[in-house]
Structure 1
Amino acid sequence: MYMAEFKLRFGDRKWYVRRIIEANSLEEAEEMAERYARAMNKGEVLWELSYVIEAERPLLIGKEELEKLGA
């Protein structure tokens, strides 16, 4: 499982979104993320791929993550 982060732009506004990608390799995940960004760029919001990482527990905050942070 991989996670891609995208930078979205609309005029002078900017924000970030993340998406989970089901792929067999990092290269496949990056290619899928690029295709996704191109497909989403059909409206007024510009999607730019920031990065793709391998993620076992993406976007999940649990006891394990808090312990790693010392919180």
Structure 2
Amino acid sequence: MYMAEFKLRYGDRKWYVRRIVEASSLEEAEEKARKYARLMNRGEVVWELSYVIESSRPLLIGDEEIKKLEGS
């Protein structure tokens, strides 16, 4: 499983969103994320791909993640 982060711009505002990408490799995930950003750019909000990472638990905050942070 992969997660892509996108930077969105609207005028002088910007924010970030993340999406889970279904793909069998990092290269395929990056390709899909780039295509997704290009297709989302049909409105006034500009989508830019920031990065794609492999993640076994994307966007999940659970006991495992809290324990890792407490140990740091």
Using the size of structure 1 for normalisation, the TM-score is: 0.98
Q: What is the identity percentage for the equivalent residue pairs of Structure 1 and Structure 2? A: 77
Listed as ranges, the matches of 1:48-59 within 5 Å are: 48-59=48-59
Structure 2 unpaired stretches of 5+? none
Amino acid at match of 2:4: A
Q: CA shift at 1:70, angstroms?
A: 0.4
Q: Name the residue aligned to 1:9.
A: 9
Q: Name the residue aligned to 2:69.
A: 69
Amino acid at match of 2:38: R
The aligned length equals: 71
**Deviations along 1:20-59, whole A, 9 cap, x unmatched?**
0000000000000000000000000000000000010001
- Runs of 4+ aligned residues of structure 1 deviating over 3 Å after TM superposition are none
Q: Structure 1: how far apart are the matches of 2:68 and 2:21?
A: 25
Structure 1 unpaired stretches of 5+? none
